[in-house]
Amino acid sequence: MTLACGPVTFRIGSDWAAPIKALDALYSDYPKPQSTIPHFTVRLEATRWWRRWIAPSIAISGDFRLPEVAPLALGMGLLAAEMAMNLQVALGDRRFLLIHAASVEKDGKALILTGESGSGKSTLAAMLALKGWRFIGDEFALIEPATGLIYPFPRPTSLKNDAIAAILALAPADRFGPLLRDTPKGDLRHLVPPSDAIARMHEPARPTLLLYPRFGAKAAVRDVGKAENFVRLTQASTNYVALGETGFQALTRFVSDVPAIAVDYPDSATAIRTVNRLWKALG
Amino acid sequence: MMDARHLAKALADPPYVLGLDDRGWAALLAMAQAERLAGSLAVRLDGLPIPAVAREVLRNALVTAETGRIRALWEAEMARRALAPLRIPVILLKGTAFVAAGLDAGRGRLIGDCDILVPRDRIAEAEAALLAAGWEWVKPDPYDDTYYRTYMHELPPLIHKDRDAMIDVHHNILPPTARTGRADAAALIAGAMPLNEGLFTLSPEDMLVHAAAHLFADGDLAGGLRNVWDIDRLIREHAEIEGYWQRLVEAARRHGLVAHVSRALRLTHHLFDTPVDAFLAYLPRRSDVAFMSRILARDRWGRETQKALRFAFYVRSHWIRMPSLMLARHLWTKWRTRQRSR
Amino acid sequence: MMLRYAAPPPGACLRDEAEGLTLLYHRASGQTHILIEPAPHILDALADAPMTEGELLATLAAAFEVNQAEAVGERLAELVAAGLVSTS
């Protein structure tokens, strides 16, 4: 099957029908791409030929590969497909400076949330997207080097463990994928972005504020200096080095133009209040 | 059923792609990625009116190729700086040599490691100098280390502690335990051509012999299509030089690799219509069909097909590198290590 | 024969300043470095012509008012290890 999200088209092949069916259902709200030529090919393959039927186990493969990715059980086919697509973009894209971050937009301006796994950025972005912001992306922020604009890449958000219940309370049930238990990261469910975000997935925005959220700490707000920001972002980028000179230009411009603030928060309500306050203060 | 002839055709005759539908493009791009020829394809298709997505994919590959080129050349330069005080000549090999010399074979090429050759009697000094300058071993398991040092024609791979690039230091182009060929390292070094201070490449004919040796004897033929493409590019660039074919015959004889060079010429002529010297290429052999099938074993998803053939070549490539008793022991030990790590 | 140090000519590197630090992209290597004074001044001084450590110290003192010989020595060694400065 072929699917497109923002500026990227994927072709997905699978040794089993189930993961494809699950993907079709999850992406049912996304318009089919006009051209089926893919930027990246992804394959979900049986690790051994007999593993198509016996204790089926999925090896992720495609144009770009990492040798040490552990295979997943067939029941987690949807997760395997999502991971495989992320891997292709992370390793193969050179059109954009990629930063591991979630992002949302309001009035043409983008708020970007970056940080490690567990920082709460995905959950926070998902909540903001349900409270009047436009969802731009969960895993990657795509920054166009020539213009500095962020291009939407609104794939479904992977919600884990406690976050699932928190968002279930806010979003309609039909926006969720199936519950996947006992994944390497615990319970996992995909949240499909709001229809509006999908409909507008080709509209870029101007990055205006970068936040480093940290969940589970006492409320605190601190400016992040340009040098520290630059270093942290080179680590948060999967392709900074691969872009060479273009990467340096794009990232130095980004850290010069976009203020960066570290936000510690004990709960989401505090986070959202803080975000709104900081956003308003920018004018 | 589609095979990598689809990709070979696009490389040999770029206007072929103008008639492709979406499915044809998807297959072409997947094969190109799998064969690490996406950058080369991009160069060949430059200027043609191709679909926007295809152009974006190929441009991605060119960016990757350029970053790889800079990285490989820098590793070579840093190796030169480390070895210059000892006056050890550094001869660049493979992709690094192609880009350093500005050859057509280097355009769009996706380079992995930086490969260099130094004289065998200086390799211990070279190793010490590189380690002192900040290179480290890519931690192999102790068995592999012995294998490398005793049987192979290269040091175990090195990586610099500050940079994310590997360097392979060779002292010959074939292992001393190889069944076929007895590459004459001294002749390779004597014939080397200077690039600039302390850096050299092999002579054009030695470069071709090395590419042919690499294609058949030095690996398991995975990535074979790319090696044949290198050979096509090298021949087209160098065949104009006066006396090239004569020197190529002499070099092939000197290194005991006439059969390999001969077969390489036949394959490239068949796949890419390379103009080759008929005397050297002569009549095709039956085993050519097996080689051809192996090189083209790629489907429209970029997957390797013909698994039985693949295993036969894996065994064959190890057979070529090591006498059978050692081979049995090596495969058994590798298999055991793999089992233990499960 | 004394060791002489040389740096890439202007244009071989891209620079950006951030809070007293210099972000530097070295085109020939594709590497990004973060430099702290006196390293950027050392590169500036050596970019024109190769010089010995003694000549460098004199140039730095005159042009940039940099006077700590030990710091210069350490930064110079780091720059050589990083490939930004070459020796002959």
- Chains touching chain B through at least 3 C-beta pairs below 8 angstroms are A, C
| Exposure string over B267-288, b if 16+ CB within 10 A, otherwise e | bbbbbbebebbeebbeeeeeee
Q: For residue C25, what are the contacts with CB-CB under 8 A and spacing of at least 6?
A: A245, A248, C13, C14, C15, C31, C32, C33
What's the ipTM? 0.94
Of A225, A227, A241, the CB nearest to C34: A227
Mean pLDDT of B79-93: 93
- Residue numbers in C near A240 (CB within 8 A): 32
How many alpha carbons fall within 13 Å on the CB side of residue C48?
10
Render pLDDT for B20-53 as a digit per residue (tens, 0 to 9).
999 999 999 999 999 999 999 999 999 999 999 9
Mean pLDDT of C28-43: 91
Mean pLDDT of A34-53: 89
Mean pLDDT of A181-205: 93
Q: Do B26 and A13 touch (CB under 8 A)?
A: no
Smallest CA-to-CA distance from A212 within A277, A282, A119 is with: A119
Predicted local confidence at residue B327, as pLDDT: 47
Distance separating alpha carbons of residues B67 and A164, to the nearest angstrom: 41
pLDDT at B186 over 90: no
Q: Do A241 and B22 touch (CB under 8 A)?
A: no
Q: For residue B85, what are the contacts with CB-CB under 8 A and spacing of at least 6?
A: B129
Render pLDDT for B110-127 as a digit per residue (tens, 0 to 9).
998 899 999 989 998 999
pLDDT at B324 over 50: no
pLDDT at B9 over 80: yes
Mean pLDDT of B203-222: 81
Asked, as a colleague might, if the bond just before B89 is cis with ω within 30 of 0, I would say no
- Residue numbers in C near A243 (CB within 8 A): none
Q: How far is B114 from chain C (nearest CA, A)?
A: 13
Render pLDDT for B282-308 as a digit per residue (tens, 0 to 9).
645 556 666 777 777 787 888 877 666
Of C14, C21, C32, the CB nearest to A227: C21
Band of residue B240 on the pLDDT scale cut at 50, 70, 90: confident
Mean pLDDT of B199-219: 87
A231 in contact with chain C, both atoms CB, cutoff 8 A:
yes
Taking a contact as any Cβ pair under 8 Å apart, which residues of chain C between 10 and 39 contact chain B?
27-31
A244 in contact with chain B, both atoms CB, cutoff 8 A:
yes
Q: Do C27 and A230 touch (CB under 8 A)?
A: no
CB-CB contact of A54 with B72 (8 Å): no
Predicted local confidence at residue A51, as pLDDT: 78
Predicted local confidence at residue B236, as pLDDT: 96
CB-CB contact of A97 with A251 (8 Å): yes
C23 in contact with chain A, both atoms CB, cutoff 8 A:
yes
Share of chain B above pLDDT 90, in %: 49
Q: For residue A88, what are the contacts with CB-CB under 8 A and spacing of at least 6?
A: A10, A39, A40, A41, A42, A62, A63, A64
Bridge partners, A206 (sequence order): A109
Distance separating alpha carbons of residues A44 and B286, to the nearest angstrom: 37
The mean predicted confidence, pLDDT, of chain C is 89
Predicted local confidence at residue C2, as pLDDT: 80
Which class for B47: exposed (0-12), middle (13-18), buried (19 or more C-beta within 10 A)?
exposed
Band of residue A34 on the pLDDT scale cut at 50, 70, 90: confident
Mean pLDDT of C46-58: 90
Q: Among B29, B70, B304, B310, pick the best mutation site for testing chain A contact (most A Cβ within 10 A).
A: B29
pLDDT at A139 over 80: yes
Strand residues in chain A grouped as ranges (E): 2-5, 8-14, 40-46, 57-62, 72-73, 97-106, 109-114, 134-137, 140-143, 150-151, 157-160, 180-183, 186-191, 206-215, 220-223, 260-265
Predicted local confidence at residue A226, as pLDDT: 95
Residue with more model confidence, C1 or B188: B188
- pTM for this model (two decimals): 0.89
pLDDT at B323 over 50: no
Of A13, A39, A242, the CB nearest to B56: A39
- Residue numbers in C near B77 (CB within 8 A): 28, 83
Predicted local confidence at residue B148, as pLDDT: 67
Band of residue A273 on the pLDDT scale cut at 50, 70, 90: very high
Predicted local confidence at residue B97, as pLDDT: 97
Predicted local confidence at residue B144, as pLDDT: 66
Q: How far is A32 from chain B (nearest CA, A)?
A: 14
Strands A134-137 and A72-73: unpaired
Render pLDDT for B121-170 as a digit per residue (tens, 0 to 9).
999 899 999 999 989 888 666 556 676 666 677 788 888 888 878 898 99
Taking a contact as any Cβ pair under 8 Å apart, which residues of chain A between 77 and 136 contact chain B?
92-95
- Residue numbers in C near B71 (CB within 8 A): 29-30
C32 in contact with chain A, both atoms CB, cutoff 8 A:
yes
Predicted local confidence at residue B283, as pLDDT: 47
Of A35, A41, A242, the CB nearest to B64: A242
- Residue numbers in C near A249 (CB within 8 A): 14
Predicted local confidence at residue B315, as pLDDT: 55
Residue with more model confidence, A148 or B317: A148
Predicted local confidence at residue B342, as pLDDT: 43
